[in-house]
Amino acid sequence: MLKPQSSPTRELVNLDGLWAFKVDSARSAESDRWFASALETQLEAPVPASYNDIFTDRAIRNHVGWVYYQRRVRVPRGWAGERIFVRIDAATHEGAVYVDDELVARHIGGYTPFEADITDRVAPGGDFRLTIAVNNELTNETIPPGSIEVAADGTRTQRYLHDFYNYAGLARSVWLYSAPATRVDDITVTTDVDGSDGVVDYTVATTADADVRVGIRDEAGALVGQKDGATGSIRIANATLWQPGAAYLYELTAEVVVDGNVADSYSLPVGVRTVAVDGMQFLINDKPFYFTGFGKHEDSAIRGKGHDNAYLVHDFQLMDWIGANSFRTSHYPYAEEVMEFADRHGIVVIDETAAVGLNLAMGGGIFGGVKQDTFSPATINDGTQAAHAQAIRELIARDKNHPSVVMWSIANEPASSESGAREYFEPLATLARQLDPSRPITFVNVMFATFQTDLIADLFDVMCLNRYYGWYVDTGDLKAAELHLEAELLGWQEKFGKPIIMTEYGADTQAGLHSLQDAPWSEEYQVVYLEMNHRVFDRVDAFVGEQVWNFADFQTSNGVFRVDGNKKGVFTRDRRPKAAAHALRARWTNFGK
Name the helix (H) or strand (E) containing 126.
Answer: none
Which residue, of 179, 209, 231, is where some domain finishes?
A: 179
At residue 333's C-alpha, the angle toward residues 178 and 319, to 5°, is 110
Name the helix (H) or strand (E) containing 322.
Answer: helix 309-322
Name the helix (H) or strand (E) containing 395.
Answer: helix 382-399
Does residue 593 lie in a domain region? no
CATH number of residue 268's parent domain: 2.60.40.10
CATH number of residue 545's parent domain: 3.20.20.80
- Does 322 lie in the same domain as 208? no
- Does 30 lie in the same domain as 81? yes
Q: What is the C-alpha to C-alpha distance for residues 410 and 428, in angstroms, rounded to an integer?
A: 8
Residue ranges making up the domain that contains 220? 184-273
Does residue 69 lie in a domain region? yes
**What phi and psi values does residue 397 have, to the nearest 5 degrees?**
-60, -35
- Does 517 lie in the same domain as 488? yes
CATH number of residue 142's parent domain: 2.60.120.260
- Does 210 lie in the same domain as 134? no
- Does 250 lie in the same domain as 341? no
Q: Looking at residue 558, what is its pLDDT?
A: 81
- Does 201 lie in the same domain as 80? no
Q: What is the C-alpha to C-alpha distance for residues 523 and 514, in angstroms, rounded to an integer?
A: 6
Which residue, of 240, 273, 306, is where some domain finishes?
A: 273
Does residue 334 lie in a domain region? yes
Q: Looking at residue 365, what is its pLDDT?
A: 43
Does residue 331 lie in a domain region? yes
Q: Looking at residue 161, what is its pLDDT?
A: 86
Does residue 485 lie in a domain region? yes
- Does 493 lie in the same domain as 442? yes
Does residue 5 lie in a domain region? no
Domains identified in the chain, total number: 3
DSSP 426: H
Q: What is the C-alpha to C-alpha distance for residues 351 and 142, in angstroms, rounded to an integer?
A: 19
Q: Looking at residue 561, what is its pLDDT?
A: 78
Q: Looking at residue 559, what is its pLDDT?
A: 76
* pLDDT in 10s for each residue of the chain, 593 residues: 899 999 999 999 999 999 999 999 999 989 999 999 999 999 999 999 999 999 999 999 999 999 999 999 999 999 999 999 999 999 999 999 999 999 999 999 999 999 999 999 999 999 999 999 999 999 999 999 999 999 999 899 899 889 899 999 999 999 999 999 999 999 999 999 999 999 999 999 999 999 999 999 999 999 999 999 999 999 999 999 999 999 999 999 999 999 999 999 999 999 999 999 999 999 999 999 999 999 999 999 999 999 999 999 999 999 999 999 999 999 999 999 999 999 999 999 999 999 999 998 765 444 445 668 899 999 999 999 999 999 999 999 999 999 999 999 999 999 999 999 999 999 999 999 999 999 999 999 999 999 999 999 999 999 999 999 999 999 999 999 999 999 999 999 999 999 999 999 999 999 998 999 889 999 999 999 999 999 999 999 999 999 999 999 999 988 777 888 999 999 999 999 999 999 999 999 988 65
Q: Looking at residue 592, what is its pLDDT?
A: 63
Residue 427: cis peptide before it, omega within 30 degrees of 0: no
Question: Which ranges of 411-522 does DSSP label H, i.e. alpha helix?
Answer: 421-435, 478-496
- Does 426 lie in the same domain as 285? yes
Q: Looking at residue 364, what is its pLDDT?
A: 42
| Residue in 10, 14, 340 with CA at minimum distance from that of residue 185 | 10
- Does 312 lie in the same domain as 221? no
β 291-295/287-288 pair status = unpaired
The amino acid that residue 205 corresponds to is: A
Is the entire prediction scored with pTM above 0.85?
Answer: yes
**Sheet of strand 94-99, all strands in order from the earlier edge strand to the far edge:** 44-47, 17-23, 66-74, 127-135, 94-99, 102-108
- Does 306 lie in the same domain as 336? yes
Q: What is the C-alpha to C-alpha distance for residues 5 and 78, in angstroms, rounded to an integer?
A: 17
- Does 204 lie in the same domain as 333? no
- Does 327 lie in the same domain as 214? no
Which residue, of 150, 179, 208, is where some domain finishes?
A: 179
Does residue 1 lie in a domain region? no
Q: What is the C-alpha to C-alpha distance for residues 221 and 104, in angstroms, rounded to an integer?
A: 40
The packing angle between helices 579-588 and 523-537, to 10°, is: 20
Does residue 3 lie in a domain region? no
Do the beta carbons of residue 573 and residue 553 sit within 8 Å?
yes
Active site residues: 413, 504
Q: Looking at residue 329, what is its pLDDT?
A: 98
